[in-house]
C-alpha cells in the first residue's frame, strides 16, 4: 500500500516539523481539557526526550549508552537528562530460584541476583520492569 502512494517527495508522509508540532499542540490541548489537567499543557516533545533518556539510564546505568542515543558530544549534556527523577530503593519485585534454569529465566526477565541463602538464590528487579498485559 505504501508503494501505491504518489511519489512526489522523498518522504513517505511529506510534512514539516511546524505542522507536526501544531498537530501535537492541538492533541495536547484536547487531552488537557478532556482530562481536566492543565499540567498536560506543559508537556513538549523535549519532555519525551528527557523521559526516554532517563528511562534508558535507570534501566541500564550506562551513561555512555544514553550519550550515544541522544547524540551528545559532551557527557555533561547527557548528565542533565539522568537526574530528573529518583526511584525509591524499596520498589522491587522479589523472586527466588532453586535451580540454575530458574535463575537463568529470572535473569533473562530483568531480575538481578542478590544473594544465596540455604541453597535458594534470591533475585530482585525494580517494579518499573513490570509488564502489563
98-120 per-position pLDDT tens digit = 999 999 999 988 888 999 988 89
pLDDT tier at 125 (50, 70, 90 boundaries)? confident
Q: How far apart are CA 85 and CA 32, in angstroms?
A: 23
Does 75 share its domain with 22? yes
Banded pLDDT at 131 (limits 50, 70, 90): very low
More confident site: 89 or 74: 74
Question: Are 26 and 71 in a shared domain?
Answer: yes
pLDDT above 80: residue 64: yes
Q: 98 with 46, same domain?
A: no
Domain that holds residue 31: 17-81
pLDDT range class, residue 46, cuts 50, 70, 90: confident
Q: Compute how many other C-beta atoms are within 10 angstroms of the C-beta atom of residue 106.
A: 20
Residue 31 lies in a domain: yes
Paired residues of 124 in beta bridges? 94, 112
58 and 33, same structural domain?
yes
The three-state secondary structure class of 120 is strand
Query: How many distinct structural domains can be found in the chain?
Result: 2
In a shared domain, residues 77 and 21 = yes
Q: Is residue 73 in some structural domain?
A: yes
pLDDT in tens, 13-28: 778 888 889 999 999 9
Query: What is the predicted pLDDT for the residue at 87?
Result: 54
Give the strand order in the sheet containing 92-97.
92-97, 120-126, 112-117
Q: Express as a percent the part of the chain with pLDDT over 90.
A: 38
pLDDT-derived band of residue 122, with 50, 70 and 90 as boundaries?
A: very high
Mean pLDDT value of segment 62-82 = 87
Amino acid at each position: 500500500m505504501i508503494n501505491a502512494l504518489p511519489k512526489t517527495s522523498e518522504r513517505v508522509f511529506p510534512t514539516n516539523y511546524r505542522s507536526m508540532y501544531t498537530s501535537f499542540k492541538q492533541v495536547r490541548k484536547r487531552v488537557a481539557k478532556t482530562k481536566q489537567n492543565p499540567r498536560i499543557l506543559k508537556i513538549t516533545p523535549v519532555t519525551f526526550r528527557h523521559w526516554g533518556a532517563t528511562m534508558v539510564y535507570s534501566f541500564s546505568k550506562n551513561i555512555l549508552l544514553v550519550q550515544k542515543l541522544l547524540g551528545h558530544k559532551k557527557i555533561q549534556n547527557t548528565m542533565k537528562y539522568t537526574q530528573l527523577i529518583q526511584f525509591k530503593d524499596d520498589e522491587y519485585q522479589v523472586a527466588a530460584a532453586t535451580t540454575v534454569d530458574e535463575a537463568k529465566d529470572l535473569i533473562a526477565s530483568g531480575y538481578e541476583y542478590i544473594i544465596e541463602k540455604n541453597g535458594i538464590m534470591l533475585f530482585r528487579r525494580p517494579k518499573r520492569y513490570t509488564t502489563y498485559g
